[in-house]
């Protein structure tokens, strides 16, 4: 049997990027991981999300970019 982390539906949160409000739906584990990564980098979650948004290609959605960023951070620690 596989142990799963707590599972919940994605939570939609509003973020401001360059003065524009947008909504992003992510599972709580991703919101928490983004917060931890922002703290580790000495920035805010909102600023980190803005940096990720600016770095992503236009064909990749913001939620996808955020999930892949969190995954890459986790993999780099392994």
Tokens 């236009």 belong to 58
Per-residue confidence (pLDDT) for residue 43, from 0 to 100: 97
21, with CB counted inside 10 A (0-12, 13-18, 19+), is exposed
How do the domains of the chain map onto residue ranges? 27-77
Query: How many CB atoms within 10 Å of residue 54?
Result: 9
pLDDT at 78 over 90: no
Tens-place pLDDT, residues 14-62: 999 999 999 999 999 999 999 999 999 999 999 999 999 999 999 999 9
Res 77: pLDDT: 81
Entry field: residues in the chain: 78
Can you name the residues that pair with 16 across neighbouring β-strands? 21
């Amino acid at each position: 049997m596989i142990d799963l982390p707590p599972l919940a539906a994605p939570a939609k949160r509003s973020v401001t990027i360059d003065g524009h409000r947008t909504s992003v739906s992510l599972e709580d584990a991703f919101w928490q991981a983004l917060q931890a990564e922002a703290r580790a980098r000495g920035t805010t979650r909102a600023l980190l999300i803005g940096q990720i948004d600016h770095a992503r290609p236009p064909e990749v959605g913001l939620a996808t970019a955020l999930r892949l960023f969190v995954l890459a951070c986790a993999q780099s620690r392994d």
